[in-house]
Amino acid sequence: MGTSQELEWFGEAVTATMRQAQIIGVNKTMAAATVRAKLNHDWQNQTGVLEGGIDITDYAQVEEGGVRGTWGVRDVVYARIHELGGTIKPKNGAALTIPQADGSVRLVSQVTIPARPYLRPAADEEYPKLAGNIRKAYERLSAAKA
């Protein structure tokens, strides 16, 4: 008749290693995206506040169904308008005050800011590397346990 084979199941250990690898891979991908976004912009950098605000906002952690992390700009109110563009209108007065280089001001009814994406291009460049980052982390973790 046939011969029997014994199989030892390590499913829980493999799953735990994969979750660790996913966390490492997501964090590595987000870190690379933040660096890329800081280098990616074409706006005139006057203060460095926006560039300095680009960071990982929530490091990767296990959630139902997978792993999630968040990166972007922290605590810079004008970050979104630089990324997406838009029109700024006065909230409390009839005009916006625009400082001029000579120290004078110019009054305008609105200002249109063109989109200057810096986050999305960084994501487009770095996100395709996520699976490879997870795979490399899994291989390193598995080799360390062997």
CA 106 → CA 36, 76, 80, 123, 145, distances in Å? 35, 24, 24, 37, 66
Residue 52 sits in which domain range? 11-85+117-145
Averaged pLDDT for residues 58-80: 94
How many domains does the structure of the chain reveal? Answer: 1
Residue 37 lies in a domain: yes
Residue 27 lies in a domain: yes
Residue 106 lies in a domain: no
Residue 110 lies in a domain: no
What does the pLDDT look like over 18-34, one tens digit per residue?
A: 999 999 999 999 999 99
- Give the helix ranges, DSSP H, for 2-146: 11-40, 49-53, 79-84, 119-126, 130-145
Over the Cα atoms of the chain, what is R_g?
A: 24
On the question of pLDDT at 123 being above 90, the answer is yes
On the question of pLDDT at 8 being above 80, the answer is no
Residue 101 lies in a domain: no
